[in-house]
Chains A and B, each alone.
Chain A
Amino acid sequence: MDSLGDTLWDVVICGTGLQQSLLALSLSRSSKSILHIDPNNYYGGADAAFSLQEAESWASSIAAGTDNDRGTFKSASTTKPDGNTGLSFPRAYSLALSPQLIHARSKLLSQLVSSRAYRQVEFLAVGSFFIFKPSTSSGQKPSLVRIPSTREDVFSTTAIPTKAKRGLMKFLKFVLNYDSEQRLATWQPYADGPLTDFLQWEFKMDAELQTYILTLTLSLDGLITTRDGLSTIYRHLTSMGVFGPGFAAVYPKWGGISEIAQVACRAGAVGGAVYMLATGIQEIETSGDNIELRLTSGDKVKTRLLVRNDENAEVGNGVSRLAAVVGSPLKPLFEALVEGAPLPAVAVISFPAGSLLTTAGKAYGYPVYVFAHSSDTGECPVGQSVLYLTTLTTPDSKEILTQSLQLLSEVIDADHLPPSLFQLYHEHGRGSVASRPDGSTFNFPDASLSLLFDDSTLEPVHEAWKQVMGETAVDTDYMTFPDREGIMDVEDMYD
C-alpha cells in the first residue's frame, strides 16, 4: 500500500465537522485525490455525538485544555448521582454536542437526497413547540402551553383569546407572501429592528403572543431582526407538511448533524478518500505551488490545497448548553396531533426572556430553549429521554439552565420528578463567521451556534468545492450523483 507521502494530494481536508464532511461528499465522485484527517479521535467536530464515556473524557480534556477543539469550547463538566441510578451502559447513549433542527425545506436535505447520501441517515419528525408559563402571583401553577401548529389548531386552542387569534392568522398569511412588493413596503421600515417591534406595531400582538412567534425562530437572544425573523417563520410555515402531515422540521436519528457528517465521510471513503482520525497538522510549509504538511502521526504529506477550520480566536458571546438524561419517557411531549402524522421524536420548549429569575432575583434577559428527545432518537434507551437546554452564555447561564431543568421536571411530571441520570454542561464560544480562501488554503468559518440549521452553512462548502475542482467545476453537477449500488438480480435459493 502506498505511503501517504508518495502522493501529491489534490486536497487535504482537516476536521470532520459538517462542512468538511460535506466537502468530502461533494468531491466523492471526482477523480481528486483526497486525504481527510481530524485531530480528534471522533467524527463530527463541534457537532459530534458522544456516548457517556466519550462525553466524560471529552469534558475532562476540555477542562484540562488538551482537546483539539478547545479554542471554542470551555467550562465542560459531567455530573451523575452516586450509586445505581438506572443509567444503562455508556454506549446506549449518544449525546449531541450541538443539536440542530433541520427545516423540511432546507437545502441540506435536498443536497443529501441529490447526492444519494440520505439513504444512510434516518430522519425523525420534530413535533410540538411549547412555551413555559411561570407560576403567577394568583396561585396559577407553572405550565407548558403548546403553540398551535395548524390553522385548525389556531381556531380550536383555548390558550389564545379570539381577538388575538385574528391577529395571529393575519400575520401568518402575511408571512406566506412576505417578499411580495406590497408586503415588503410594510415590513421594510422594521427590517433591521427586532421582530417583536414589528409584531407589536403592525399586528397589535401582546407580549405573550409575540413569544409564540419568537419561539418558532429559536432566536438565541430573542432579538432576531424583522428581516431574519420573517424569513425563518416563512421557512417554518412552508416546511410544514412537506414530508408528511403535522411537522415542519426533522432531526437525524442517533445524534443529529454528527450522523450526517459520518455518512458524508463514508461517501468520501467510498469515493477513494483516505481517512485518518486522531491526526492533526503539526507544521505547514509552503513549497512552490504546493503545501507540505507534517502530521502529528509523523507522516509528511504534500498537497495542492489545504481546507480546514478557521483557527481564529473567539469573536463573541457564545452559548451555554446542558444535556440531561432523564429517567422518564416524557410521553406527553411526543404526541402526534394530526391524523397520519409520524410520532415525533423531538419537542421544543421555550422559556421566554423574563420568565426566569437569577439567584440575585433579577429577571433573566434571554430565552432558554429546550430540545426534548425521546428514546426514538436512539440517543438514550427506551424509558428515558434527553433534554438539551441552550441559552446565551452569561455569568448566570449555568445556574439558569439548571433552574430550567428543575422547573421543567416539575411541570412535566409533578408527582415524581424524573431524576436527571447524567448531565453534560459546556460553553461554546462564537468563532469567526466568514470563510477565508487564501491561495492554497481555504478556511471554513467556525461551527454555527444556531439551533435551526442555517442554509448559509452550505455556501462555503460550495466555494471550497469550486476551489478544489478549479476549471473542471460544473455547477450543475454539484452534489448531484446517481445511485452507486447495482441491483444483483440473481436468485440464490437455499434450503
Chain B
Amino acid sequence: MASDDSLPTLKILLIGPSGAGKSALLTRYCDDEFDPESSTATIGIDFKIKKLAVRGKAYRLTLFDTAGQERFRTLSTSFYRGAHGVLLVYDISSRASFLTMERWFDEAEANTVEGIALYLVGAKLDKAESSREVSPEEGQALADAHGARFCEASAKTRVNVRRPFVDIVDQIVQTLGLLSGAGRTPGTVAVSGGGGGGYLSSCPC
C-alpha cells in the first residue's frame, strides 16, 4: 500500500449557509460522530483528512469547512484555490437556507476553475417527516441548473452520509483534466525546509 503522502490529494470544500449542517455531515463522515446538541459555529477545525478508494484507486481527501466565514459571507478567494470539488449544503427543513443556494453556486462558480465538480446536498433528511420545507424535486432542479449532482442526507441517521463524498470523488477522477487542472502547482517552492545556500557557499576561499 502506498504511503499517505504519495496518494493523490483532492481538495474538497463544504460551503452553504450557517446552520445547514456542514460540520455535522463532515464529522459523521470522518469520525462517525454526531452531537445533537452542537449548534454552534465550527471552531478549531481547519480541515479533515480522509482516505477513500474509488474504482480501486486510493485518494487522500482534504475536506475544508467554512470556519464560520459563511456567516457574513466573508469566505476569501484563497479558500477556493486549488479546489477539485465543492459540496454545497442546505437544510431541507429551512426554505430560507435553500433560497441562499443560488448565491452560493454563483460564488463557487466565480472562484473556481471551469468544470469543477459541484454537488448539492440537502441535509437534515431526518427532519423530512416533521418539518420538510424543500422538496427533493426542488433540490434536484437547482442542482441540474448548475450541472451539479444531488442527494439528501442525514448526519443524525447516517442515511446517505458517504454518498456525496464518494460521488464527488468519482466525478472528479472521471472528469478529464480536473485532477491535474486544479490543485497545487508543480514547481512551487517548499519554504518549510531551507537552511542551506548562500551566495558564496560553493566558494572555498
Contact = CB atoms under 8 A, between A and B. Distances in A.
Interface of A: 1, 43, 91, 94, 104, 109, 112-113, 118, 120-125, 150-152, 172-173, 176, 236-245, 247, 250, 253-254, 259, 262-263, 265-267, 269-272, 274-277, 279, 342-343, 376, 378, 484-495
B44 A269 contact: no
Interface string B12-53: 000000110000000000110000000001011111111111
B196 A151 contact: no
B199 A123 contact: no
B71 A1 contact: yes
Interface stretch (B116-124, B141-149, B181-189): B181-189
Interface string B70-102: 011010111101000000000000000000000
B67 interface: yes
B53 A492 contact: yes
B180 interface: no
A492 B18 contact: no
Given A113-B191, A124-B189, A272-B43, A240 B69 contact: no
Contacts of A237: 198-200
B48 A488 contact: yes
B72 A172 contact: no
Contacts of A491: 51, 53
B81 A494 contact: no
B78 A487 contact: no
B44 A250 contact: no
Contacts of B56: 495
Contacts of B55: 495
Contacts of A263: 76, 78
Given A242-B196, A492-B162, 16 more contacts: A94-B77, A113-B191, A176-B198, A176-B199, A176-B200, A240-B198, A242-B195, A242-B197, A263-B78, A271-B44, A277-B72, A279-B72, A343-B187, A485-B46, A488-B49, A495-B55
B203 to A, nearest CB: 6
The contact size tier of chain B is 35 or more
Given A274-B68, A276-B74, A243 B191 contact: yes
B51 to A, nearest CB: 6
A247 B166 CA distance: 42
Contact of A490 (B50, B188, B192): B50
Contacts of B130: none
Contacts of A254: 77-78, 81
B111 interface: yes
Contact of B184 (A109, A118, A122, A343): A122
Q: Which of B51, B54, B166, B197 gathers most chain A CB within 10 Å?
A: B197
B21 to A, nearest CB: 15
Contacts of A176: 198-200
A238 B195 CA distance: 10
Contacts of B199: 150-151, 172, 176, 236-238, 240-241
Contacts of B71: 1, 274-275
